[in-house]
Chain A
Amino acid sequence: MSILEVSNLSLSFGGVKALQDVSFRVPENTVTTIIGPNGAGKTSLFNCISGFYKPQQGTIRYEGRELSSGIKPPKRAALGLARTFQNIALFRGMTVLDNIKLGAHVHMKSGLLGSMFYFGAVRREEMEVRREVEHRIIDFLEIDHIRRQSVASLSYGLQKRVELARALAMRPKVLMLDEPVAGMNREEKEDMARFILDIREEWGVTVLMVEHDMGMVMDISDHIAVLNFGQVITEGEPADVQNNPEVIKAYLGNSDIDSLRKKLNPEGEAA
């Protein structure tokens, strides 16, 4: 069953066609990856799904209901669509802990008046969130040593991890990750890959990601959709996608398929 289904989506900015008739599906409880060369429209697609862009045509169905353009980003967040950004979008003036707590915003109720007194229900709710964040997220992502630090002082890899933590605090059903391992070293990448797999298995969350690191994509994805010039070339399991001549051409624009197939398949290269 598909938790998210994109059908015939088209988006253009003036004369630039960012997405043309894009259709693909995200099966429930999988790691689904969208790959494609730079400028293929991957981030535009993410922005359509999270509600920042309004596609001119097509539909996005989430859990069987259509996400019309009237459903704004905050509402989509409340429905269980969480995401991280390609360029880290944390709140730099706050501590790690406060950033993560903000993820739980939609699940909290405290209003302005109650907050002023910090009493009874407001206090209990704050403590519940703190406990949940500590037990489920900070322990899980191994960031307990930095919880009091300001986000601006952290390394790039840790900032990415905090952004993931914030998205998890939203208790998502679908977690959208825009280039989760870009700019990371090998060790950080391995950690992130492990977290993504654990999120799917232990939390039962469907992961939809955009990523360029082919090694990781092929290793952890269950389902892959390939985008080029705003169009879906193919979708399927990693092995099928890897050997698809169209994909190889899109990436490398060359007809010498055998040598390029090796580049797309790092394991084959190692063997």
Chain B
Amino acid sequence: MRIGDAKQTYEADEAIWTSSTQKFWFGLLMLILLLFPFMVDSYLLYLGCLVGIAVISATGLNILTGFTGLISLGQAGFMGVGAYTVAWLSLNTGLPFPVTLLLAGLAAAAVGILVGLPSLRVKGLYLAIATLAASVFLHFIFAEWESVTGGMGGLSLEPAHLFGLTFQSDFRMYFIIVPLAVLMVFAARNVLRTRVGRAFIAIRDRDISAEILGINLLRYKLMSFALSSFYAGVAGGLFAYFYRVVTPESFPLSMSIFYLAAVIVGGMGNLLGGILGAAFMTLVPEALKLLTAALTPFYPNAPVFMSPMLEIIFGALIVGFLIFEPHGLAEIWHRIRRFFRLWPFRN
């Protein structure tokens, strides 16, 4: 229980965790994430890996859309760039996975900078259309540049490897994906509480004031695009190692919309929102399928009725969240935290 806090130094006041309670809960979460693969079946493990990949990409998009205010429909395209980079490198060079993932991120960042160039002139929906065009263009390249991407058939790759260790199972991939997701969320947190992140938010909130404070708009917008697509590239690279096959259809336009929806449902401009949104968007369709299976013993016709309904229920849930929780899932979490902040003395 906590009755208040007093800080002695600015360092303590600027820290990510400002109380030992927060440190305790975070440690517990890390412990659960560590033990998770030992306790669950292969299906949940598979979902855990998918959520991890989605968290990385959604965090990237949150930096761009939530914090810098630049709407992008190119996230799936950037993930594709990362995935193809990893696939090509692993087929042609045999580099270990930390190197290929880093190069995947950098390749996606380079493409992101190019796609971000129009952002100085166009904003809002117009920028969304510009990034949409870029993602269609990237899809075209994936499908047609056969000598590198393998055309419509795509590329198959070997499992990730490092120091003679290969990561062919979901169990092993989990120990790449989840620690990386945690690290990247922390990196994003650090960026957002320092000079560069403040500049991003300044551009989102009022670009004319940002300029008067000496923030070079083009430079920081492109930086945001680069960072965001770096995250997408790494996520795409993990996707490639996870499924070990990459085709143009792995990264459809609907995937970009999936990530935009994750950021909006979770809470724009809130890192926790991106994480919760990614988990929500990944898990809810699966939960609905489980629900159908659970209903089947009582209503033998459940699959017949439910399977066409799943998408509709999923859509209705998203709409419901937007209406009743416009600040996203993260806001629910903040309410719970506020309630317990000084519990039991005040609530």
Contact = CB atoms under 8 A, between A and B. Distances in A.
Contact of A85 (B11, B196, B209): B209
A170 interface: yes
Contacts of B223: 112
Given A93-B205, A115-B191, A98 B198 contact: yes
Closest 10 pairs (CB-CB, A-B): A77-B214, A106-B214, A91-B205, A118-B190, A116-B187, A89-B209, A115-B194, A74-B214, A115-B191, A110-B195
Q: Report the contact-size class of chain A (Cβ under 8 Å from the partner).
A: 35 or more
A130 B11 CA distance: 9
Interface residues of B, number: 33
Nearest to B216: A74
A112 B227 contact: yes
A83 interface: yes
A105 B214 contact: yes
Interface string B176-206: 0000000000011011011111110110111
B206 A134 contact: no
26 contacts: A52-B208, A73-B212, A73-B214, A74-B215, A74-B216, A92-B205, A93-B205, A94-B205, A102-B198, A102-B202, A103-B213, A106-B214, A110-B194, A110-B195, A115-B195, A115-B196, A116-B187, A116-B188, A116-B191, A117-B187, A125-B195, A126-B194, A127-B11, A130-B14, A131-B10, A170-B213
A72 B211 CA distance: 9
A214 to B, nearest CB: 28
A116 B202 CA distance: 18
B328 interface: no
B198 A73 contact: no
Contacts of B208: 52, 89
A136 to B, nearest CB: 14
Interface of A: 50, 52, 72-75, 77-78, 82-83, 85, 89-94, 98, 101-103, 105-106, 108, 110-112, 115-118, 122, 125-127, 130-131, 134, 166, 170
Contacts of B197: 115
Nearest to A78: B214
